[in-house]
Amino acid sequence: MAEPITIATWPFGKTAVEAAMKVLAKGEPALDAALAGAQAVEDDTSIRNSVGFGSLPDRLGRLTLDACVMDGRTLACGSVACVEHIRHPAALARRVMEKTPHVMLVGEGAKWFALQQGFPLEVPYTAESIKEWLDAHPDLKKKEKPGKSPVRADGASDITVNEFNHDTVTVLSLDKKGHLGGVCTTSGLGYKLPGRVGDSPIIGAGLYVDDLAGAAGGTGVGEEIIRIGASLFIAEQMRAGKTPQEACELACKRANAAAGRRGVHPARVAFLALDPKGNVGAACTEKTDFKYAVGRGDKVELLTAKEIGPTA
């Protein structure tokens, strides 16, 4: 019998880990635990720039959510992207996995499916998020010079990634039977262009889970994570014998190298991983300041990931 464990991104991941560990303690499957953890964060609108409702909307003021789930035992997976007015996109992604022959549904189609599955439509905004959106909107700020283009994030080096400015939680769990499950859910980058989808709902980019290799997830600038297929890359490194820590560090080096080919430093990404034996690992690129939560038994702790520079 395996020792249950859950890991999750960012300090607010402690909320996810605490919720997931309660589920694992009852002997429930890893995916159930990871989903419970992710949903606890989706429900918490008190977290600044929180995942889910109460987060910063896109450039036009629309809040769209992305999420995916994956079961390491069967490789079953489901995903939704650019979905509006649905409070729990991760739960909806699981319905895609269980109730359809597809992996991903997006936009209005995902919302239509949610309604068919009994999900209510809800208003996703809070007074605080609307105020913050207005106060910091790059198109509404006073321009330094007449005719100057609005401030916008054109590359990885332009986006600040830390616990106060990121909207992704990835939760990875190992249950008592030794099975792995994972969930990734996000509201994406604040002020993103309408229709933008990052790595979080993409299997193999923001999340990958396989009982025979391990589970991995990412956070940070999604475009950089997509470019290297990061989570699948990490899982395959573990399958080949690397530890979760070694695999995460290799993914950071790969992301830095890919960004460097475009003249961008650093890549601003972070990764965490969990292998079938319960070993964990995490790493981030420079200036990302990535912290993650780990839960074993009754103990939940917050750890700081190792930074990997462009020349490491």
pTM: 0.92
DSSP collapsed to 3 states, the chain: CCCCEEEEECCCHHHHHHHHHHHHHCCCCHHHHHHHHHHHHHCCCCCCCCCCCCCCCCCCCCCCEEEEEEECCCCCEEEEEEECCCCCHHHHHHHHHHHCCCCEEEHHHHHHHHHHCCCCCCCCCCHHHHHHHHHHCCCCCCCCCCCCCCCCCCCHHHCCCCCCCCCEEEEEEECCCCCEEEEEEECCCCCCCCCCCCCCCCECCCEEEECCCEEEEEEECHHHHHHHCHHHHHHHHHHCCCCHHHHHHHHHHHHHHHHHCCCCCCCCEEEEEECCCCCEEEEEECCCCCEEEEEECCEEEEEECEEECCCC
For position 150, what pLDDT does the model report?
35
Q: Tell me which of 6, 9, 64, 168 is the catalytic residue.
A: 168
Mean pLDDT by 10 residues, the chain (312 residues): 94 96 98 97 75 88 96 98 97 98 98 98 88 85 46 46 66 98 94 94 98 97 96 98 98 95 87 98 92 95 95 58
Active site residue 219: no
For position 229, what pLDDT does the model report?
98
For position 165, what pLDDT does the model report?
54
